[in-house]
Amino acid sequence: MVSSSVQDVVSERGLSRRDFLKFCSLMAGVLALPRPYMKRIEKALAAPARTPVIWLEFQDCAGCTEAFLRASRPTAAELILDVLSVDYHETIMAASGHRAEEAKQTSIDAGGYLLVVEGSIPSAEDGIYCCIGGRTALDILQEAAANALAVVSVGNCSSFGGLPKASPNPTEALSVMELVTDKPVLNLPGCPYNPVNLTATIVHFLTFGELPAMDSLHRPLFAYGARIHDNCERRGHFDAGEFVKEWGDEGHRKGWCLYQMGCKGPVTFHNCPAVRYNDGTNWPVASGHGCIGCSEPDFWEFGIYTTIELDAFTPPTTYAPVQIPAQSIDPTSTAVMGGLAGLAIGAAGAAAYQALSKPDENGDASSEEKE
Ligand code: SF4
C-alpha cells in the first residue's frame, strides 16, 4: 500500500481543491449516484493508503492500454491511478525482464491488489500460444488471481474472448471469467474499453469497498445498463423512419439513423453516447459509422455491415419502445448501490456526465463545491 491520498496527489501537482471536487462530481455522475454520495466519494478519495494494481496483458492488441494512456480528462483520473500504484504493467513500467517479474511477484506475495487483465487467454495445447517469461498466460493468470481482491477485465478480449476467439478460434481463447471462478470478476468490454468506466469502477471500489452492481455478463450496470440505441442522438431519425441507405447519401450527410447500414446499437449495452471516447470528443455513431456491438459477446461474428433482425423493434411503422434491459444482477457481485446505480445511468447519467465533464470555461466552481 502507498500512503498518499488522491487529494494529496492533486495538491502536489498544483491542482486546486476545486479540481478535486469536480473530479468527485464527475465520478458520481458516471456512476449515476445520487447527490449525497458525492460527499462519500470525496471522503474516500481523501483517505490515505490505496490499493495496488497488477495489470496483465495476454492475447491483445494493447488497444486498451493505449486507451488507458490517452485518458487525460478528467486529469485526476491519472492521479487516482498513480495513487493506486500500478505495480506491474509490462507495457508502461520502467523495469523489464527479471526485475519486472520480481516486482510482480512481490506484489502477488503481499496480496490485497486489484488485478486488471487485458487480452484473452489461449487454452489450446496447454496454453503455449501465449507465454511470458517462459510461463503460459493460463499459469500467470491463475497465480495472480489467487491473491487478488478482485479481477477487472478490460476490453472485449479479456471479457468475452474478443477477436482471438473469433471463428475458428485456433488458440481456443477463453475469457477471464471462464477461468477465474472463485473471485469477483468485473468485465469492462469494448474495443477498446472506455477508461472513464475503469476510473469510475475504481472510485466505486475505493468508496464502497466492493465492485459495483453487475448484469449477468459481469458488466457494471452504471456503464452497461442501457442500450446504445436508447440514448443515441440519431434515435429520432430511427423513430421517424429516416435511414441512411448508402454511404455518403443525403441521409448520411444529414445525420440520419445508421440501422440499415448495420448499426448494432439496438442490441448493444454501453454508455458510449454519454461518455464518448477520446476524452468525450466523439463516438462512432456520431462520426457517421454504425455501432459494431463491441461490448457484446462474439461481436466479431455479427457482420459489421449486416443489418440485424430486431425482435423488439419494428421500424419504422411501429415506434420502437425504450425498453428496460432484461438483465439480472449477479448475486455474488451485488454492491451497496446496486439498485440505484443500475438503470438510472441512461439519460440521467448521460446528462450528468456531459454537464460535469465540460471544461470550466467561466471559472465557476462546481455546484457541489459551493455547498
Ligand atoms: S440504429 Fe444505431 S444509429 Fe440508429 S438510432 Fe439506433 S443506435 Fe442510433
- pLDDT tens-digit profile of 312-333? 555 545 555 555 554 443 333 3
Any idea which architecture 6-224+327-370 has in CATH? 3-Layer(aba) Sandwich (3.40)
pLDDT of residue 181: 96
State the pairing for strand pair 135-136/121-122: unpaired
Entry pTM: 0.82
Distance 265 CA to ligand 1 centre (A): 5
Which residues contact ligand 1 via a Cβ below 6 A? 228-229, 232, 234-235, 238, 257-259, 263, 265-266, 285, 290-291
Superfamily of domain 228-301: Cytochrome-c3 hydrogenase, C-terminal domain (4.10.480.10)
| pLDDT above 90 (res 168) | yes
pLDDT of residue 75: 53
CB-based contact 151:186 (threshold 8 Å): yes
Tell which one of 231, 232, 261, 292 to mutate to probe ligand 1, the residue whose CB is within 8 A of the most ligand atoms.
232
Q: In the predicted model, what is the mean pLDDT of residues 283-311?
A: 93
CA distance 218 to 220: 7
- Residue type (1 letter), 45: L
Domain boundaries, the chain: 6-224+327-370, 228-301
| pLDDT above 90 (res 230) | yes
Q: In the predicted model, what is the mean pLDDT of residues 354-361?
A: 50
Distance 26 CA to ligand 1 centre (A): 26
CA distance 295 to 75: 25
Computed over every residue of the chain, the mean pLDDT equals: 82
CA distance 235 to 233: 6
CB-based contact 227:266 (threshold 8 Å): yes
